[in-house]
Amino acid sequence: MNITLDLFNPQQAGVVMKNIWPEVKATLMAGKRLQLSVKGQKRSNPQNRRYWGQGVLAQIAAQAVVNGKQFSAETWHEQFKRMFIGFDELPNGQVIGKSSTKLTKAEISEFCQQVEAWAATELGVVFFDLPKE
């Protein structure tokens, strides 16, 4: 048995679990093993376009000036990963931002909200025509 389900609300999850329970129970009663994996939905292409493309990072890179300098979208992304996701220490003692590629849909949405709020508040960036998530 190999099942992948997209669940959107508690009621739907309850119905699905109730419906698959007899098969799960029978499989286990027959001495077979199952593996249950529950994970958040991966981030979407629209979320990526909103953050990259001509979205959030491009607008920050175009508008933000820190100590008389402007920085690339990639540099800002590294900064924001360190600020809002966390970082890993390198062997030489320096740090690098944790990857954002494994963030779920909800996590990338929260990350983008943090980036946008910080950029607007701390850098004075005004966002316009952002793609929808």
- Kindly report the pTM of this predicted structure: 0.70
Q: Would you give per-residue pLDDT tens digits along the chain (133 residues)?
A: 677 777 778 888 889 889 889 988 999 999 999 888 877 778 788 888 899 988 999 999 999 999 999 999 999 999 999 999 999 999 999 999 999 988 888 899 999 999 999 999 999 999 998 877 7
Q: Would you state the pLDDT for residue 91?
A: 96
Q: Would you state the pLDDT for residue 131?
A: 74
Closest C-alpha among 87, 86, 70 to residue 125: 70
Closest C-alpha among 109, 112, 106, 113 to residue 8: 106
From start to end of 22-86, where are the E strands? none
User: 45-123 falls under which CATH superfamily?
Assistant: NinB (1.10.3790.10)
Is 116:59 a contact under the CB 8 Å cutoff?
A: no
Every domain of the chain and the residues it spans: 6-38, 45-123
Question: What pairs with residue 104 in β-bridges?
Answer: 42
Q: At 11, is the secondary structure helix, strand, or coil?
A: helix
Q: Would you state the pLDDT for residue 1?
A: 65
What is the helix (H) or strand (E) element at residue 112, kind and residue range? helix 105-123
Is 56:50 a contact under the CB 8 Å cutoff?
A: yes
**How far, in Å, CA of 56 to CA of 61, rounded?**
9
